[in-house]
Structure 1
Amino acid sequence: MKKIERAQQFVNDHMKLFRCPVCHASLEKIVGTSVICHNHHVIDFNKHGYLHLLNNNGGTEYDRQMFVDRRQLLSAGLFKPIIQKIAADFPKKALRILDVGTGEGTPLMQLAEQRCQQEDTMVGFDIAKAGIQLATQLPFGGFFCIADLRNLPFANDSFGIVMELFSPSDYQEFERVIAPNGELIKIIPNANYLIELRHLLYGQDDRHYHYDNQRVLDLFRQHYPMATVTPVKYRFAVPNGMQRALIGMTPLHWGKGVAKLSEDDLQQITAVTVDISILRAKIS
């Protein structure tokens, strides 16, 4: 099947998951290469195999090269221990999982690999078209779309799990789409996340030299006082030749005072620290 045909099949099989981003009515039927909502708004399937579920063209600073770099490192296993830890605590039953800010989709695919014995329904979305176009190339049964986390194009109570890896949050929207007794999972960086890059790219007096996640953690706990916080920390050996991609995959190199690294500087990056916390909250 072509990618557009697979996308049409997925939406047809899971029509009740979605709602119109314009009027919030349910999606009703597929006609040709479009899906039509109850109030007759028409949304076309892209030839790459996704739906554009934004009310505008969107926009992001993340370009295609950044997502290509990210795929290189994630395919090499940069975040795999995080995905394994998340998957280990999931129930052994079919789940409907939404990945917020999915980017180029590799974490969702790796989660699918960890969950291969289950018949999960997996949806990833991002505001960045470049990321979603790459995500639709991945060889697994997840569905990807362009959408805005402030106006999720999904029905109420439609997912058992909402997860987001280093992405912004809209807790009100997340709670709307999470089914009763579902779970919200948020992954945030800790102080030593990629600290080697911070210290290579910035001087000690620059604000990018240090990182503090306290504000994000406090806000999550404010919304979910019973949330659990699980730290995960490990060293990742950077494969030879991927040093420049490692720099390119993060916004760390965007800072005003960032150092320009030579090839000798890059060769110093033989391993990096992955230091994160997994925040989990049950939604009643």
Structure 2
Amino acid sequence: MKKIALGKQFISQNRYLFSCPICGEPFDQVIDFSLRCPNGHNFDLSKKGTLYFLNHQANNEYGEQMLQARQQILQAGLFDPIIDAINAHLTEEPETILDVGCGEGTPLAKLLTARKQTDVAVGFDISKAGINLATRYGAAAFFCVADLANLPFNNHVFSAVIDLFSPSAYAEFNRVIKPGGKLIKIIPNSDYLDELRTLLFGSDQANSVYSNQKVFDLFKHHYPGATAERLRYSFTIPDGLQQALMIMTPLHWGRNQNQAAEKLIKDLTAVTVDVTILVNQFN
């Protein structure tokens, strides 16, 4: 089945998930390869079976080269323990999952493979290039281009919202999560990719030190009862993927980047992954 046909099948079966980002009304029709709301707003499936919900110009710094490098590294297992930890917080029953800022789709695809459930899953990102890459994973999940601040989804339709390293819009999350559902947010800690950071910036530059304390504090402000757990491990870089590791992260944009980094990166054999997993259970 072609990707556009798979996309039509998903939106036909799960139309209840989606609402019009222009007027806010739930979509009430699937006509040919389009979603249509009661006020006549149409959103057409692309040939890759995705929907483009943005009604403004996207400002995204993640180019295709960076996303392809990220896909290589994530397929090689960089986030596998994180994905296992996310799965441990989900139920053994089928979930309705929203992946916030899904990028090129690997974490969501791996999560669904690990779960072996009949989950309904949607990943969205502001990057069209990322969403196009995500469609390589077939029909396991549906992917779309959307605005975090104006989610094209109905109220209280997702049992789990996953936010892996992405910005948050807590009012929107509260709106789309079901009663009894969960918000799972993963933030990098100060030791995240520390070896790469040291390689690029040494120990005395502005980018040598990293903290997500403000992000942590804001989450806890919104959800005082949320749990927090730290996950820290070492990832062995597969031979030949050192360059991809450097390209996949915004660290390589740094103004004070070590000019010799491209040569030195070849000798990097492992990096530290250090994250906090924040979980809020909704009543």
Query: Quick check: TM above 0.5?
Result: yes
Q: How does 1:252-271 map to 2 (within 5 A)?
A: 252-271=251-270
Report deviation, 1:29: 1.2
For 1:3, the aligned partner's letter is K
Report deviation, 1:33: 2.1
What is the CA–CA distance in structure 2 between the aligned matches of 1:275 and 1:256, rounded to whole Å?
24
For 1:225, the aligned partner's letter is P
Report deviation, 1:137: 1.2
For 2:100, the aligned partner's letter is V
Q: Which residue of 2 aligns with 1:14?
A: 14
Alpha-carbon displacement from aligned partner over 1:32-76 (angstroms, at most 9, x marks no partner): 222111111011111111000111232300011111000100000
Q: Which residue of 2 aligns with 1:187?
A: 186
Contact persistence 1:109–1:140 (CA under 8 A): no
Q: Which residue of 2 aligns with 1:44?
A: 44
Q: Which residue of 2 aligns with 1:28?
A: 28
Q: Which residue of 2 aligns with 1:128?
A: 127
Q: Which residue of 2 aligns with 1:160?
A: 159
Report deviation, 1:262: 5.0
In structure 1, list runs of 5 or more residues that go unmatched: none
What is the CA–CA distance in structure 2 between the aligned matches of 1:47 and 1:140, rounded to whole Å?
14
What is the CA–CA distance in structure 2 between the aligned matches of 1:245 and 1:74, rounded to whole Å?
10
What is the CA–CA distance in structure 1 between the aligned matches of 2:97 and 2:255, rounded to whole Å?
37
**Count of residue correspondences:** 283
What is the CA–CA distance in structure 1 between the aligned matches of 2:12 and 2:57, rounded to whole Å?
25
The alignment's TM-score, normalised by the length of structure 1, stands at 0.97
Could you list the structure 1 runs, at least 4 aligned residues long, displaced by more than 4 angstroms after superposition: none
Q: Which residue of 2 aligns with 1:239?
A: 238
For 2:258, the aligned partner's letter is A
The alignment's TM-score, normalised by the length of structure 2, stands at 0.98
For 1:65, the aligned partner's letter is Q
In structure 2, list runs of 5 or more residues that go unmatched: none
Describe the SS at the equivalent of 2:136. Answer: coil
Report deviation, 1:140: 4.2
Describe the SS at the equivalent of 2:168. Answer: coil
What is the CA–CA distance in structure 1 between the aligned matches of 2:3 and 2:107, rounded to whole Å?
20
Q: Which residue of 2 aligns with 1:200?
A: 199
Alpha-carbon displacement from aligned partner over 1:168-207 (angstroms, at most 9, x marks no partner): 0000000000000111000000110000011000132212
For 1:88, the aligned partner's letter is A
What is the CA–CA distance in structure 1 between the aligned matches of 2:121 and 2:166, rounded to whole Å?
18
Q: Which residue of 2 aligns with 1:210?
A: 209
Contact persistence 2:229–2:276 (CA under 8 A): yes
Percentage of identical aligned residues: 50
Q: Which residue of 1 aligns with 2:175?
A: 176
